[in-house]
Amino acid sequence: MLSWMEERKWFLRICRRALDAGLQVSTGGNLSMILGSDVFLVKPSGISLYDLQAKDLLIADLSGKTLEGRGKPTKEIATHLSIYRVRPDIGGVVHYHPPYATAYAVCAKTIPLLTVHAERILGTIPVIPPCDEGSEALGLEVQKVFVNPRIKVALLAEHGILAAGADLTEAQNLAELVEETAKIAYLSERL
């Protein structure tokens, strides 16, 4: 098991990876990971993934209350919590606005799984109906989808993507695969 400081460094590596992969820009996007049975590490609101430092990360409980750190947790904290509540197998959640996958989300269209690895790994990518960011309604819609243990990723209509994995690295890998899959689908539709 990693120390909380090692967990923070790992969290920041995933943030940099999201930037390098082109999954997020500016202060958008958010990540969280379970630290223990009742606490998790979460990105604060209003700080870009690029500028984020270990001291900025927040430790919160499963009600969303900040236990350690300054600032407010991401406004999407309820969305993350809604997944953790119904999926004890999940240890990390990422939410980004990658261009190709978000284009499908804006159109409320599911991403065609055209490659063998996308079909095998992702299985299906449901589209969650539009709701206000961070709202209780969004949390309930997310729970309805992620209660299914086969669901690993989903599109948020008019918004972006959610990916949930056993740990933060798996969630990141899934998010990257969703964007690659969306790009392949978009390009193949034009050939």
Largest Cα–Cα distance of the chain, in whole Å?
A: 52
Residue with tokens 């969630």: 171
The number of C-alpha atoms within 13 Å of 167 and in the hemisphere containing its C-beta is 9
* Cα 92 versus chain centre, distance: 8
| Cα 99 to chain centroid, rounded | 15
CB 126 within 8 A of CB 145: yes
| Cα dihedral 93, 147, 184, 160 sign | negative
Helix (H) or strand (E) holding 32: strand 30-34
DSSP β-bridge partners for residue 135: none
- Catalytic pick among 7, 76, 141, 176: 76
Element (H, E) at 34: strand 30-34
Residue 176 among the catalytic residues: no
Catalytic residues, by residue number, are 76
